[in-house]
Amino acid sequence: MQIFNIGFLELTFILLLAFIVLGPQDMAKTGRQLAKFIRSITKSELFKSILDTSREIRDLPQKLAREAGAEEILEDLQKIQNTRISDLDDLENKILAPRQNLPEENPTHPESTDNHS
């Protein structure tokens, strides 16, 4: 489990160090102050605008691809690829079909067997 790219052992070490430095009473007081500070930051307009900007930047490549028509180009390429594959299948069937219609190479005729006793 990772919180802010900090692993469980690192988080435990930070809390233990804070407990040693601050002591039990000051640690609770500092925890409340830290929670108020974080809450005020997350409810601020600046933080909301930063989140919105981050979302826009993350979605920008998909938006540009849609506007440029890249999805249509990819669909066209897939259609071309599928038609080439079906053409290859048709060609393979045309090549193999005459071989399947050939007579067997070792027909068993009563004349061909030697019955010398």
pLDDT attached to residue 72: 77
For the chain, helix (H) and strand (E) counts, in that order, are 3, 0
Confidence check: pLDDT of 106 > 70: no
Token pair listed for 87: 């053409």
Task: Quote the pTM value.
Answer: 0.40
Amino acid symbol at 73: I
Q: What is the pLDDT of residues 36-94, one digit of tens each?
A: 998 998 899 998 999 899 999 988 888 877 777 777 777 877 887 777 677 677 777 77
Q: Which residues contact 8 (CB under 8 A, 6 or more apart)?
A: 1
First vs last C-alpha separation in the chain: 88
